């Protein structure tokens, strides 16, 4: 009997799925000798290995059956309570009261799953979804299978442009924002702009999805209070343990109002039943006795020193640059100064293209991420994202020198 060729018919939404540009670029950085400013990876120097080793032993000694068994979809109860308590404390320190109910905390398999769950319950085909310009590429990838109409809202140094938001918000399902040390730009939303955005969202009834994986990584002063704390019934808040503990455990959380939390839980149950219970218990144990209060400052110190090294190297190799808003900004290589997080945002002179530059930079021994893919529309081909947290200070100086060599060679 002649075998019949199997015919696979893909769903129409599958055609809209594309490989992650960043993940593809990261493959290039695996070449020996490449200094990578491309990855968004936390520094492995910050991983609390000894604390996790002790936590593993304690979890397996105290309740091995519970740790290794199926668990509640909502997440490990004590961890949810700890998340709620910390959010209350952080908001209070910023001058805003946010009475977070642990029942509204859902533990997710990384905050990326939170984006996926929200997309599943809030987006229909052709729904309008608003994002910053530029925005986190992983969020757009999570929204895309639901076939939305993604609309970019203008931004300036303080955050979302309220007037542009007002002109685009009618019938939008939600606005997705990263107020703190945003990926990819590293910028933060000012207190005045947060207050204005919150007031506009309340006035118009626009839900806000607030993604905050980098908020603990401030360098000199903590960021203002979360948007969700100002209007808990109008926001969904996403957080992550990846940037302060260990990304390999894939643990995050979301806080949602009662109007949507039951459906998010049902979407979670359909996706993976629950996030790994063993990992949740590990994180809970490591976080005991105020560990993060002692550990996170060491991360901030490391990242600030590496940011400063990159700023110094850029100033050395591009002495003609005077900042992104200088009169000569279009004719020089410019960059910003992030007050926290993991990324710096740079822009090439007029006439240059970051995608075209990348292979020449790799030939010189350095890699970066072109900025255009981070735009939902009308991407700026001159922009690039530089991560400063994983290379050593020595490699940062070497890498910036190689980048400068590639840029000067291309310009000439």
At residue 49, φ and ψ (nearest 5 deg) are -60, -45
Structure confidence by residue, pLDDT tens digits, 66-119: 999 999 999 999 999 999 999 999 999 999 999 999 999 999 999 999 999 999
- The model's pLDDT over 274-283, given as tens digits with 9 standing for 90+, comes to 999 999 999 9
User: Yes or no: is domain 12-47+293-411 CATH 3.40.50.2020?
Assistant: no
Task: Name the pairing type of β-strands 334-335 and 343-347.
Answer: antiparallel
Tell me the whole-structure pTM to 2 decimals.
Answer: 0.94
Question: What are the percentages of helix, strand and coil residues in the chain, rounded to 5?
Answer: 50, 15, 40
Give the model's pLDDT for residue 25.
Answer: 66
Pick the closest to residue 341 from 191, 190, 223, 194 (CA basis): 223
What is the predicted pLDDT for the residue at 15? Answer: 79
**How many whole angstroms separate alpha carbon 278 and alpha carbon 56?**
9
What tens digit of pLDDT does each residue of 20-51 get?
666 666 676 667 789 999 988 999 999 999 99
Domain definitions of the chain by residue range: 12-47+293-411, 69-291
Tokens linked to 393 = 């200070």
pLDDT, tens digit, 9 for 90 and up, residues 241-264: 999 999 999 999 999 999 999 999
Q: Characterize the bridge pairing of strands 252-255 and 105-108.
A: antiparallel
By the 8 A CB rule, do 393 and 306 touch? yes
Range with the poorest average pLDDT among 3-7, 54-58, 371-375: 3-7
Mean pLDDT of the chain: 94
> Which residues, 6 or more positions from 75, have their beta carbon under 8 angstroms from its beta carbon?
105, 106, 107, 253, 274, 275, 280
CA atoms of 347 and 336, how far apart (whole Å): 9
Q: Is 193 exposed, middle or buried (0-12, 13-18, 19+ CB in 10 A)?
A: buried
How far is it, in rounded angstroms, from Cα 81 to Cα 360? 50
Question: For residue 229, is pLDDT > 70?
Answer: yes
pLDDT at residue number 23: 66
Q: Which residues contact 246 (CB under 8 A, 6 or more apart)?
A: 47, 48, 52
Residue 391 DSSP label: S
CATH fit for domain 69-291, picks 3.40.1710.10, 3.40.50.1970, 3.40.50.620, 3.40.640.10: 3.40.640.10
Nearest to 17 by CA among 152, 109, 142, 183: 142
pLDDT tens track for 335-365 = 999 999 999 999 999 999 999 999 999 999 9
Q: If you average pLDDT over residues 179-187, what whole number do you get? A: 97
């Amino acid at each position: 009997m002649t075998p019949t060729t199997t015919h696979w018919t893909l769903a129409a939404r599958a055609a809209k799925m594309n490989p992650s540009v960043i993940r593809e670029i990261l493959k290039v950085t695996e070449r020996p000798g490449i200094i990578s400013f491309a990855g968004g990876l936390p520094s492995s120097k910050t991983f609390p290995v000894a604390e996790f080793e002790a936590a593993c032993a304690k979890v397996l000694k105290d309740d091995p059956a519970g740790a290794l068994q199926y668990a509640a979809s909502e997440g490990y109860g004590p961890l949810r309570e700890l998340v709620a308590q910390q959010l209350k404390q952080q908001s209070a320190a910023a001058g805003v009261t946010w009475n977070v109910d642990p029942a509204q905390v859902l533990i997710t398999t990384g905050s990326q799953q939170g984006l996926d769950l929200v997309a599943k319950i809030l987006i229909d085909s052709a729904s309008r979804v608003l994002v910053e310009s530029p925005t986190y590429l992983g969020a757009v990838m999570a929204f895309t299978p639901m076939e939305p109409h993604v609309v970019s809202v203008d931004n300036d140094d303080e955050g979302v442009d309220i007037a542009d938001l007002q002109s685009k918000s009618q019938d939008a399902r939600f606005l997705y924002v990263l107020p703190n040390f945003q990926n990819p730009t590293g910028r933060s939303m000012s207190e005045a702009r947060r207050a204005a955005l919150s007031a506009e969202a309340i006035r118009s009834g626009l839900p806000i999805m607030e993604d905050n994986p980098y908020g603990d990584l401030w360098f000199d002063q903590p960021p203002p209070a979360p948007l969700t704390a100002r209007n808990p019934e109008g926001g969904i808040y996403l957080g992550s343990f990846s940037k302060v503990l260990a990304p390999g455990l894939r643990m995050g959380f979301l806080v949602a109002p009662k109007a949507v939390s039951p459906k998010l839980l049902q979407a979670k149950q359909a996706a993976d039943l629950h996030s790994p219970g063993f990992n949740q218990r590990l994180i809970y144990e490591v976080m005991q006795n105020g560990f993060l209060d002692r550990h996170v400052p060491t991360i901030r110190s490391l990242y600030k020193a590496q940011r400063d090294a990159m700023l110094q190297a850029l100033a050395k190799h591009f002495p003609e640059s005077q900042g992104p808003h200088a009169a000569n900004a279009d004719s020089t290589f410019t960059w910003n100064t992030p007050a926290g997080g993991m990324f710096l945002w740079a822009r090439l002179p007029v006439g240059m293209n970051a995608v075209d530059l990348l292979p020449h930079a790799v030939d010189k021994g350095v890699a970066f991420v072109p900025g255009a893919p981070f735009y939902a529309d009308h991407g700026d081909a001159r922009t690039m994202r530089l991560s400063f947290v994983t290379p050593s200070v020595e490699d940062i100086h070497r890498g910036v020198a190689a980048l400068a060599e590639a840029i000067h060679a291309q310009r000439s």
